[in-house]
Structure 1
């Protein structure tokens, strides 16, 4: 695909489907009229530079533009929106159901209790779905306005040139959609647990009356200090997932953004794990009682567990940074390309 075809193809992405072909033909004719008879690649580069960014040119053709999510993103927006709504609803429903099972009352079989459970499940699934839909839409609006997919560096003031055109797709550097969806599920589960139901992360000890005694792992009040940071990190991760879903291929800017995210995640985890007040003291006491050992020994076990978990997080994040950068730099699409 030559430079002219890539330019026209990119312009068409931003147009409604019903006018894409007509605009493509007209634009091709206009470009040919602007070129000399025996044109060179430099002539093409100059003409395309004069025409400007494909997105801005598409806006001139699409005079009836009235949309929140433009044609270039709409199909993928709807596809991802359905997936995220389903994931968020399922996660919210699952967490609520697990919490109810672990704390099920003795009269759980009574109609009133079951009715309350069903109402709570529906409510949690609805809230989860709406939260997912809201944030996906926000991220797509940001991507729509910054033009990340077509090669603009977000928030960077620069003049568009044909060098910013998307490169030809390279299947070797294609992002696995299944991997992206799986990572998205894990992020949503992790965030939902900490934000909506941190009390589910607990030790459950069945009492003499059959009702379990719940001792939360985390100090819920202390956890609230970190909730804003957790939400911000999760939203950044969601944005990266959506970016991957749209772009479909890795690029250097994406790899650098992922690396920055991983570093931020490591910092957040290290700070949280180093906070001695984040672990519930009652959890340590209960653990010592169950294992028939001293509180100091149980505390040592918890500290060791925190170190192992922290080391695991660091290793996974560093591995992800290295693998992503190496794969991107080895690819013709990623090497030296900030698109």
Structure 2
């Protein structure tokens, strides 16, 4: 695919849909006007260098001026903001509802309903603010760094036509939007649960007096040691999700970051799972009573389950990294 088509494609990706067709036609005419009748590839390269960065050129064409997020990213920003905020609202509201139902167990019905409703609204509001904050922060960093859409800050340099993205000719490297949304949902749910309400991961047993006894899986004080690392990885992965949404297809820098995230996630998971102080010592007793088994047998079973889960998780993440890398090598 020639440089002119790639340049016009890169500019179009930064434009709103309602003006994209008109601008691309005008831009193609301008480029052809700047070239001689018998132009060479070097002439095209020189003209495109004069025109400069596709994102900056798109900013000049776009009549809508944005101040926080520029037009090169604005449409993508709005798209992923809707997705992330929507997921955050559902996740935070759901967690708040479950927590409210449990904490108000046995209370007057009206008080329970009012309390649950209030907590759900509060959770939805917190989710909205959290989602909007982190997505906006990531896009501000991208915007202020002057990075072209499709390139990561660590790999960016002064723009030249060599940086023009290839026009996708097949869908083999296309990133599934459904898969991305599911991953975002999983990450937000896991992070929000561990950060805001880790005590909800527990065994719930109602005794003879109809009292609900709750035994948390985690030692909350010990879990706080890992929270900062969980948050860092969550933000890191959210950044990867944002870039997936922007590029819409796998690139080598994105593949490298995805593999790096998988490695870091495996390391953190292994450390946490084999930290016996992280788990509530009363949890095994409660679990053994629930299944009518001995503490020794339950301990052995949980230890085996831990090894099986770690092996499975490492296998899945390794396969994910290798599969994407192989696909890129074959179809790039």
Question: TM over 0.5: same fold?
Answer: yes
CA distance in 2 between partners of 1:281 and 1:15 (Å): 57
State the partner residue of 1:159: 158
Alignment of 1:143 onto 2:142: yes
Alignment of 1:44 onto 2:44: yes
CA drift of 1:125 comes to: 1.4
| Residue deviations 1:172-191 (CA, integer Å, cap 9, x gap) | 32111111111111111111
CA drift of 1:33 comes to: 4.7
SS across alignment from 2:107: coil
CA distance in 1 between partners of 2:312 and 2:11 (Å): 45
- 44-53 vs 167-176, greater mean Cα deviation: 44-53
Which consecutive residues of structure 2, in runs of 5 or more, have no partner in the other structure?
A: none
CA drift of 1:295 comes to: 3.5
State the partner residue of 1:335: none
Cα separation, partners in 2 of 1:20 and 1:222, compared to 1, 3 Å: same
State the partner residue of 2:83: 83
Cα separation, partners in 2 of 1:273 and 1:305, compared to 1, 3 Å: same
CA distance in 1 between partners of 2:88 and 2:67 (Å): 25
CA drift of 1:34 comes to: 4.1
CA drift of 1:25 comes to: 5.8
* TM-score normalised by structure 2 residue count: 0.89
8 Å CA contact retained: 1:244, 1:250: yes
Correspondence list, 1:294-333, <5 A: 294-332=294-332
Cα separation, partners in 2 of 1:290 and 1:60, compared to 1, 3 Å: closer
Cα separation, partners in 2 of 1:242 and 1:64, compared to 1, 3 Å: closer
SS across alignment from 1:167: coil
CA drift of 1:299 comes to: 2.7
CA distance in 2 between partners of 1:88 and 1:23 (Å): 36
State the partner residue of 1:126: 125
CA drift of 1:148 comes to: 5.5
Cα separation, partners in 2 of 1:188 and 1:18, compared to 1, 3 Å: closer
State the partner residue of 2:98: 98
* TM-score normalised by structure 1 residue count: 0.87
8 Å CA contact retained: 2:150, 2:246: no
CA distance in 1 between partners of 2:55 and 2:297 (Å): 63
Correspondence list, 1:1-339, <5 A: 2-14=2-14, 24=24, 27-59=27-59, 65-109=65-109, 111-146=110-145, 150-156=149-155, 158-169=157-168, 170-332=170-332
CA distance in 2 between partners of 1:9 and 1:314 (Å): 39
8 Å CA contact retained: 2:187, 2:234: yes
Which consecutive residues of structure 1, in runs of 5 or more, have no partner in the other structure?
A: 333-339
CA distance in 2 between partners of 1:120 and 1:100 (Å): 7
CA distance in 1 between partners of 2:178 and 2:64 (Å): 36
| Residue deviations 1:114-144 (CA, integer Å, cap 9, x gap) | 2112111111111112111111111222333
Cα separation, partners in 2 of 1:176 and 1:61, compared to 1, 3 Å: closer
8 Å CA contact retained: 1:146, 1:152: no
CA distance in 2 between partners of 1:66 and 1:125 (Å): 28
- 292-301 vs 213-222, greater mean Cα deviation: 292-301
